[in-house]
A = this chain, B = another copy of it.
Amino acid sequence: MTTPLEGDDRARELLGESIVGQLSFLGLDGYPRVVPTWFDFRDGELLISNGPGTYKCRCIRAHGRVGFAVSDPTPPYRLVTLTGDAVVEVLPEAERIQLAGGQARRYLGEERAGRFFSRAPGDGELIRIRPRRIRFTNV
C-alpha cells in the first residue's frame, strides 16, 4: 500500500512504538479538542478503538479532518505530527476485543491487560485515519 509515510522510516518507527498518541479533532461547538489515545499503526493507517457513542466519534462523523501527534518524552524528543482524513466505522465485538486487547497488552503489559475486558464489551466504533501529511522532527 502506498502511503505518504513510505520513505520516512523515522516517522514509521515512532508510530510503531507503544507511545500514547494525541488525537485532535473539531468539537461540535467549533472548538478543537485533543485527547490521549491508544492506537495501532497498520498498513499506513491509524486505528483507534472506541466504545459505542463516544463524543469524539460523533465529532469525527460530523467533521472527518483530524490531527494526530506522537511525541517521545525522552531526548532527542522525537515528534511525529500528521493531519489525516478519518472515518468512523462499526467495530464488531470480536474485532474490538482483538484490536483493543492487543493495544492493552502493548500499552499496559500482559498482566494488567488480562483484566482489561472483564466481560464481553459488545460492539464498539473504530476511528480509521488515513494520513494526508506527516512531519517528523526532533524538538
Contact = CB atoms under 8 A, between A and B. Distances in A.
Interface stretch (A7-15, A62-70, A92-100): A62-70
A65 B30 contact: yes
Nearest to A72: B36
Interface in A61-113: 65-69, 71, 73, 79, 81, 83-84
Given A26-B26, A29-B83, A83-B29, A69 B20 contact: no
Nearest to A31: B83
B36 A32 contact: no
A83 B33 CA distance: 7
Q: How many copies does the complex hold?
A: 2
Tier of interface size on chain A? 20 to 34
B31 A69 contact: no
A67 B20 contact: no
28 contacts: A20-B71, A20-B73, A22-B34, A22-B36, A22-B69, A23-B34, A24-B24, A24-B32, A24-B67, A25-B32, A26-B26, A26-B32, A27-B83, A29-B83, A31-B65, A31-B66, A31-B67, A31-B83, A31-B84, A32-B33, A32-B65, A33-B81, A34-B34, A34-B68, A35-B69, A35-B79, A35-B81, A36-B79
